């Protein structure tokens, strides 16, 4: 037996066997299994014992927890890291929107790429192997953000899945005619259609523009819906009408849904039942909600999150995600989905016996909602996008986090993180 560095595995490009890990599959506890990773970076086989030929390295990860990579299904990579250029003195959502709009009018596209790549690298080192990013397309930002990120999506395809949402942002005084005439060019470069109806001056017409574009381009819808706590103006009913009219069942995701916490129980239950009936997903964004909502309250400011625990317990597909990282909307953020998972449990009032639920909200549920399909998860044929850690189980992974971990992206070790020591089980047949 000799020491085998992750660096050597990365450089070799050869298949390798992860030997003896405790593999997370489904909702049962982890079970011992070997995983064979192909040269192409996919899981070639998972079985209790796998014998391999001399062409494969064998890497002993006995006892380590092996999880699929995290899926951060709601970020804003065009905005990440701009806090230092454009502060938000009021700390409110509208203050953040204004600050970014001011910045976007002058920011060069190479600035977007540089900041986004830095955050993507941080996320990847912490185990996130798929990101969906909303990208502003409006009169201020133009197409700078989406063009820069479309380039990153292809440059990073060997390491990470990056999906882009054409976020057709209706700033105050933004005329809908501009959005309507530019939406096709934006959605052409995107994986989903997005927007924030509560801000639009004519939310109904605005939503029609978005849904019609989604149908024309055969893309899913991912809206920021009711990122506020005003019970007088929820837009859920109008969205449900359009999901039915445009046949977008199972292809619609709603981010924030904060207002559900401000509605009465019976109003909430009526909405919850339609979310289930129409197979609509929800994404909670605890960092943004905790930071931006409730600033006008002198006493007992609300958390600002949607009814996370009730939605999860009712069987609504609810994921959690980072939203903004280091910008006027959320000045903090490490890109660590485990940090977001903890915010979700604490601020969402889930229980200690629901840590595994929160884990699913960072892995299998966002994978389903973003349509990653058979590319994600611990199954044969999926990308070998793995988080290997010294945690006992997924509850401990969320609650305490690992002391040591190793991330594999497309079967390649991501170097530079907190690495697990790694030893070769038996000598290779030949050395190169």
- Distances in whole angstroms, Cα of residue 250 to Cα of each of 102, 210, 297, 318: 36, 16, 37, 13
> Which of 19/132 has CB closer to Zn ion?
132
Q: Is 72 in the site for Zn ion (CB under 5 A)?
A: no
* CB 54, CB 14: distance < 8 Å: no
C-beta of 407: minimal distance to Zn ion in Å? 25
C-beta of 11: minimal distance to Zn ion in Å? 38
| Separation of alpha carbons 38 and 17, rounded Å | 9
C-beta of 80: minimal distance to Zn ion in Å? 12
C-beta of 323: minimal distance to Zn ion in Å? 5
- How many chain residues interact with Zn ion (CB under 5 A)? 1
> Which of 78/323 has CB closer to Zn ion?
323
Range in contact with Zn ion (rule: CB under 5 A) among 154-162, 299-307, 316-324, 370-378: 316-324
Q: What is the DSSP string of 222-291?
A: EEEE--S--TT---HHHHHHHHHHHT-TTSEEEEE-GGGGGS-HHHHHHHHHHHHHTT-EEEE-HHHHHH
C-beta of 272: minimal distance to Zn ion in Å? 22
| Separation of alpha carbons 178 and 190, rounded Å | 18
C-beta of 100: minimal distance to Zn ion in Å? 11
Range in contact with Zn ion (rule: CB under 5 A) among 95-103, 188-196, 201-209, 323-331: 323-331
3-state secondary structure of 120: helix
Determine the residue with CB nearest Zn ion: 323
| Separation of alpha carbons 167 and 244, rounded Å | 22
List the one residue from 78, 138, 310, 323 that touches Zn ion (CB under 5 A). Answer: 323
Range in contact with Zn ion (rule: CB under 5 A) among 173-181, 186-194, 266-274, 317-325: 317-325
DSSP single-letter state for residue 383: B
C-beta of 74: minimal distance to Zn ion in Å? 6
Q: Which residue in 196, 235, 210, 208 sits closest to 94, CA to CA?
A: 196
DSSP-derived pairing of the beta strands 386-389 and 65-68: antiparallel
> Which of 72/323 has CB closer to Zn ion?
323
Range in contact with Zn ion (rule: CB under 5 A) among 171-179, 205-213, 318-326, 333-341: 318-326
Question: In the complex, which residues of this chain contact Zn ion (CB under 5 A)?
Answer: 323
């Amino acid at each position: 037996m000799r020491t085998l560095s992750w660096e050597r595995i990365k450089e070799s490009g050869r298949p390798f066997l992860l030997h003896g890990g405790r593999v997370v599959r489904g909702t049962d506890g982890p079970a011992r299994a070997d995983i064979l990773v192909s040269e192409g970076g996919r899981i070639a086989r998972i079985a209790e014992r796998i014998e391999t030929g001399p062409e494969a390295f064998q890497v002993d990860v006995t006892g380590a927890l092996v999880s699929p990579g995290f899926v951060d299904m709601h970020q804003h990579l065009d905005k990440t890291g701009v806090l230092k250029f454009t502060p938000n003195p009021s700390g409110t959502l509208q203050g953040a929107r204004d600050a970014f709009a001011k910045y976007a009018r002058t920011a060069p596209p190479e600035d977007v790429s540089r900041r986004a790549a830095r955050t993507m690298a941080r996320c990847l080192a912490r185990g996130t192997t798929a990101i969906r990013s909303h990208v502003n397309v409006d009169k201020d930002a133009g197409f700078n953000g989406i063009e820069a990120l479309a380039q990153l999506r292809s440059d990073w395809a060997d390491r990470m899945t990056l999906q882009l949402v054409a976020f057709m942002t209706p700033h105050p005084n933004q005329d809908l005619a501009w959005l309507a005439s530019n939406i096709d060019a934006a959605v052409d470069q995107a994986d989903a259609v997005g927007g924030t109806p509560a801000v639009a001056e004519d939310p109904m017409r605005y939503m029609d523009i978005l849904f019609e574009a989604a149908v024309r381009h055969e893309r899913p819808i991912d809206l920021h819906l009711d990122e506020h706590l005003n019970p007088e103006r929820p837009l859920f009913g109008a969205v449900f009408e359009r999901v039915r009219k445009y046949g977008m069942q199972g292809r619609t995701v709603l981010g924030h849904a904060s207002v559900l916490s401000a509605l009465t129980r019976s109003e909430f239950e009526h909405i919850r039942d339609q979310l289930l009936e129409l197979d609509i997903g929800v994404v909670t964004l605890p960092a943004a909600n905790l930071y931006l909502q409730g600033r006008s309250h002198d006493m007992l400011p609300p958390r600002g999150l949607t009814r996370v625990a009730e939605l999860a317990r009712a069987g609504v597909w609810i994921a959690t995600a980072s939203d903004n990282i280091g910008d006027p909307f959320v000045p903090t953020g490490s890109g660590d989905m485990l940090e977001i998972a903890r915010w979700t449990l604490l601020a969402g009032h889930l229980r200690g016996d629901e840590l595994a639920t929160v884990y699913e909200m960072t892995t299998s549920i966002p994978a389903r909602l973003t349509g990653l399909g058979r590319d994600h998860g611990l199954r044969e044929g999926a990308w070998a996008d793995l988080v290997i850690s010294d945690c006992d189980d997924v509850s401990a992974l969320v609650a305490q986090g690992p002391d040591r971990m190793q991330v594999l992206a497309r079967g390649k070790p991501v170097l530079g993180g907190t690495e697990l020591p790694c030893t070769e089980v038996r000598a290779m047949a030949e050395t190169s």
